[in-house]
Structure 1
Amino acid sequence: MSSVTTPSDDERLRRWRLVLGGGEADGTGRALTGTDAAMDGALAALYGGRGGDRRGGGDRSAGLGGSAPSVARWLGDIRTYFRSSVVQVMQRDAIERLGLSALLLEPEMLAAVEPDVHLVGTLLSLDKAMPETTRETARAVVREVVDDLEKRLATRTRSTVTGALDRSARISRPRHRDIDWDRTVRANLAHYLPEYRTIVPERLIGYGRAARSVRKEVVLCVDQSGSMAASVVYASVFGAVLASLRAIATRLVVFDTAVVDLTDQLDDPVDVLFGTRLGGGTDINRALAYCQSRITRPADTVVVLISDLYEGGIRDEMLKRVAAMKASGVQFVCLLALSDEGAPAYDREHAAALAALGAPAFACTPDLFPEVMAAALEKRPLPIPAA
């Protein structure tokens, strides 16, 4: 019979001391030593109000100092004492709470960080201020994140989207030489005649030659305002994956108050990311006007607008443009965010107006995006997550 081990009184005090952070208010009277003291010191440097230095005694003021070497040492410490997901949260808090963005321009800082999507967004926002001595290191950090995302997302995206393209191209009245006999037999097994030992196919399935030759067109139109940083990162990766499919002609357009077409850089999402300019205003109408001007076969085109819909341009013109694209046969999808960050902030009035046009706007995780694209390509209802 197994027994449940309960922590000793000393262990309970240790845990409470780490939670409360020391000082007169913690009430534990428990001193920290060794690794515990080092962990507490790393937390105190960021969050403050956690008495005790790394040697477990005395009060200390919080802070990482203003020098890159001290911050780089702290980054090394937290990677030693905490798991990767916690390190990423602490890095993000350090950048936001202590204003450390400028220090990311130092090569030794970048070499010490734990790369993640949020860090990439911060680096992209600093791109124009980045000295040449840091740019190569920054690209290496961005490359590591992009490669990890591609490994996680590419295979499923290709298989899901390719399956959707196959299904959308399939026809039910093929010529004899275009019949897919394997699918036809399976679809008609209920019509097997045992006395004749044969199947009478009531429905033929095949691929028409014309259908096979038509490439679908996908336009990713991505808001690059500061709040959309994670979405820009994911969109660049998905854009590169979609561009690798010969059955799809993929266009990537990013915008703030200006519009930039990055289609010719889709073979490398890192080049795409460094071609963006995070921050600034938003003119969705201008971006959609550009995308609309590049559409040659509306019935075979999917436009994916990724934006929080805080429009700085002409609202009524934006809505008219969406309505015109849909009327011409374009499949229009609006994603309020493409990230794992939870419910985004967005313009609810504009989202409601799009929904009234038959273009619902919703947040989408990277894992759901392949299904959304498959549904749009097949012209079936989108898998909108529950609010």
Structure 2
Amino acid sequence: MSLTDLDPELDPPAEDLDPAETRRLRRWRLVLGAPAEHPDCALDAAGLALDSALDALYGEQERGAGLGGSAPRVARWLGDIREHFPVPIVRVLQRDAMERLGLKRLLLEPELMQGLEPDVHLAATLVSLAHVMPAKAKDTARIVVRRVVEDLERRLSEPMRAAVLGSLDRSVRNHRPRHSEIDWPRTIRANLRHWQPELRTVIPERLLGHGRRRSGLRDIVVAIDQSGSMAASVVYASLFAAVMASLRAVNTRLVAFDTNIVDLSDQLADPVDVLFGVQLGGGTDINRAVAYCEKLIERPEDTIFVLISDLIEGGVREQLLSRCARLHAAGVTCVALLALSDEGRPCFDAEIAAALSALGIPAFACTPELFPGLMATAIEKRDVGQWAAQQGLVTTRAAQG
């Protein structure tokens, strides 16, 4: 079917088309879909992106009524529509998605949800739809998201706690430990030259101790990009931030951003509350987010700033790089994570990533299992870029070389 089939008046000769008529034809093309394709109303890149988002929901092809294996696609789509449409239209599309993709039926019948395996993308999808769900469905969604969070906590929280506390013990030197604070294995290794054969023992010349646990040995600021492509990263980052916030030895702040900024630090007692406080999808103003985080930093040399973003900036690039350079120069340990997820190498802005790398700020993607090791390295003030290379993570510096 073409536009001529629908209405001959919509298809005048190309040379007679004025801009207003062209816009009208393109709107019809978006309404009617690919069957209405016509040379006089061909879509540009932005139009094709709109068409793809609409076709995913209203296309004629058969689509499964469930989350299951399609959850990553659904989560990305929910983010994409916020980039292409104003808020009132987004809400209409999301409500239609609840019906047409079968999500509402799943949520209103909790027994159907029991058959779904806990999955990060499932959690991201439910969080994205939270504000258009009926109250009953939202209650079910929270239960399902909590299942996902609890599953991740069983797998990741203890390695995270052990890595952070262990690294703090190693990074804070204690040369005059009390008896209960002596690190005997390290003390013996350091004093082996003082072995006394006749006594069959080591006489330690110096004692090495565990670091005394004080509150706030390190300040950690995590800024997480809420754009659609970062859905899985948001889930993992929220969990890890909640785990770190439970440790008195570190002060943890979590900031979520798109073109707006939400400080979720006061909700870190419950990762589920954190997740339902984010708004997945939309534009991105990283510069504005970094400016906000910069104000939170009071002890630069004892602060770790983790920016989790694909670096696709909608704000002012020059200011973003200038702020990051200032933080790095002040002694802040800065890391740019292009993704915190189980997926492969993400799509990201290579130019900004390379610029950060040139400033001495490593930029790479990281899996959840490796994140505790990353934080331990940062807490001990070791070279994070070198650590990433040792783990086989592709840094922008390595990619360029």
Q: CA deviation at 1:175?
A: 6.9
In the alignment of these two chains, the number of paired residues is 305
CA distance in 2: counterparts of 1:297 and 1:194, whole angstroms? 49
1:108 is aligned to 108
1:17 is aligned to none
Do the aligned partners of 1:192 and 1:199 also contact (CA within 8 Å) in 2?
yes
Q: CA deviation at 1:372?
A: 0.2
1:289 matched to 2:291: yes
1:130 matched to 2:133: yes
**1:299-326 deviation digits (Å, cap 9, x = unpaired):** 1111110000001111111111111111
CA distance in 2: counterparts of 1:305 and 1:380, whole angstroms? 18
Q: CA deviation at 1:386?
A: 3.5
2:239 is aligned to 237
1:89 is aligned to 69
2:280 is aligned to 278
**1:13-56 deviation digits (Å, cap 9, x = unpaired):** xxxxxxxxxxxxxxxxxxxxxxxxxxxxxxxxxxxxxxxxxxxx
The structure with the largest alpha-carbon Rg is 1
* TM-score w.r.t. length of structure 2: 0.70
Q: CA deviation at 1:202?
A: 4.9
Unaligned segments of structure 2, at least 5 residues: 1-59, 78-95, 395-401
Q: CA deviation at 1:108?
A: 3.4
Do the aligned partners of 2:226 and 2:281 also contact (CA within 8 Å) in 1?
yes
CA distance in 2: counterparts of 1:188 and 1:196, whole angstroms? 15
When residues 145 and 191 of structure 1 are mapped into structure 2, their CA distance, relative to the original with a 3 A threshold, is: same
When residues 225 and 166 of structure 1 are mapped into structure 2, their CA distance, relative to the original with a 3 A threshold, is: same
1:386 is aligned to 393
Q: How do 1:127-166 and structure 2 match up within 5 A?
A: 127-166=130-169
Q: CA deviation at 1:110?
A: 5.9
1:366 is aligned to 368
When residues 111 and 118 of structure 1 are mapped into structure 2, their CA distance, relative to the original with a 3 A threshold, is: farther
When residues 93 and 284 of structure 1 are mapped into structure 2, their CA distance, relative to the original with a 3 A threshold, is: closer
Q: CA deviation at 1:133?
A: 2.6
* Amino acid paired to 2:224: V
When residues 96 and 368 of structure 1 are mapped into structure 2, their CA distance, relative to the original with a 3 A threshold, is: closer
Do the aligned partners of 2:241 and 2:254 also contact (CA within 8 Å) in 1?
yes
CA distance in 1: counterparts of 2:289 and 2:303, whole angstroms? 16
CA distance in 2: counterparts of 1:95 and 1:203, whole angstroms? 57
CA distance in 2: counterparts of 1:95 and 1:279, whole angstroms? 9
Q: How do 1:17-56 and structure 2 match up within 5 A?
A: none
* Amino acid paired to 1:307: S
When residues 192 and 245 of structure 1 are mapped into structure 2, their CA distance, relative to the original with a 3 A threshold, is: same
Q: CA deviation at 1:184?
A: 2.0
Do the aligned partners of 2:255 and 2:263 also contact (CA within 8 Å) in 1?
yes
Q: CA deviation at 1:215?
A: 2.3
Stretch moving more, 319-328 or 112-121: 112-121
When residues 93 and 286 of structure 1 are mapped into structure 2, their CA distance, relative to the original with a 3 A threshold, is: closer
Stretch moving more, 196-205 or 315-324: 196-205
Q: How do 1:202-351 and structure 2 match up within 5 A?
A: 202-206=205-209, 212=214, 214-351=216-353
Do the aligned partners of 2:75 and 2:231 also contact (CA within 8 Å) in 1?
no
Q: CA deviation at 1:190?
A: 2.9
* Amino acid paired to 1:279: G
Q: CA deviation at 1:195?
A: 4.8
